Amino acid sequence: MMRYSIGAILVLAMTAAACGSSGGSVQSTTTTPPTPAFSISSSASESIIGTWRTEYTCEKFVQALEREGVGDLAANYLVALRMQQGPADRIANVADLCAGAKDIQRTQVFQPNGYLIHYQGKVIVDDCHCYQLIGRHTFVVLGDPGDPDIPLQYRIEGKTLTFDAVMPSQCSSARCRDEFAFAIAVYAVGTWRRVNS
């Protein structure tokens, strides 16, 4: 069963949904992804707080999910992120999941206190209170009620940010695997670059 967050809602309604247990406002407005309203000081230059952008290709996307052992869920999330035409069953068993797929640009604005805005292109696809920082290098994706929270280790090197998802112990249920795949699909596909304010 797919998590009722950005993945499932995009498939059903092709609009955004709130993620995380605290919820957020659903928006599908077109706007330019902003830079943070606060300035990033030199002491905060190693901080995840700020605006980051990446490009997703289907090949990199599928490889990221396969590398983490959830490649069987790639078709679901290719459709959820509108990289492929649905339904997911249509492409799940084809020889090339990426035939006809489109590349996308993702932007994330990390604000203090766990507030996050996701853009796909110039459209807000998620606006939520859905993460928590644990220490200096661990980012936790807060799951919906009843779903596990998924930790990701992150590294900031200069103006680049990368995530490595950490599968929770005893994560064999379909619900846990889906939550883990969601975290990879949204954060851990490739390298993010800081957008200067």
Task: Report the number of distinct structural domains present in the chain.
Answer: 1
Within-domain flag for 52: yes
Question: Is 98 domain-assigned?
Answer: yes
The SS3 call for residue 42 is helix
* Segments forming the whole domain that contains residue 115: 6-194
For the CA atoms of 175, 79, 60, 159, the dihedral, rounded to the nearest 10 degrees, stands at -90
CA triple 150-16-115, angle to 5 deg: 50
Let me know if residue 17 belongs to a domain: yes
- Single pTM value for the model: 0.76
In 3D space, the residue among 190, 172, 24, 25 whose CA is nearest the CA of residue 106 turns out to be 190
Does 1 reside within a domain? no
Evaluate whether residue 28 is within a structural domain. yes
Residue 100 placed within a domain: yes
Burial of 73 (0-12, 13-18, 19+ CB in 10 A): buried
Q: Where are the extended beta strands (E) located within the chain?
A: 50-56, 104-110, 115-120, 123-129, 131-134, 138-141, 150-157, 160-165, 192-194
Residue 69 covered by a domain:
yes
Q: Residue 133 domain-assigned?
A: yes
Q: Mutual orientation of helices 174-187 and 6-13 as an angle, nearest 10°?
A: 80
Spell out the per-residue pLDDT of the chain, length 197, in tens.
333 343 333 332 332 333 333 333 333 344 444 433 333 333 333 589 999 999 999 999 999 999 999 999 999 999 999 999 989 998 988 889 999 999 999 999 999 889 999 999 999 999 999 999 988 899 999 988 888 999 999 999 999 999 999 998 889 899 999 999 999 999 999 999 999 85
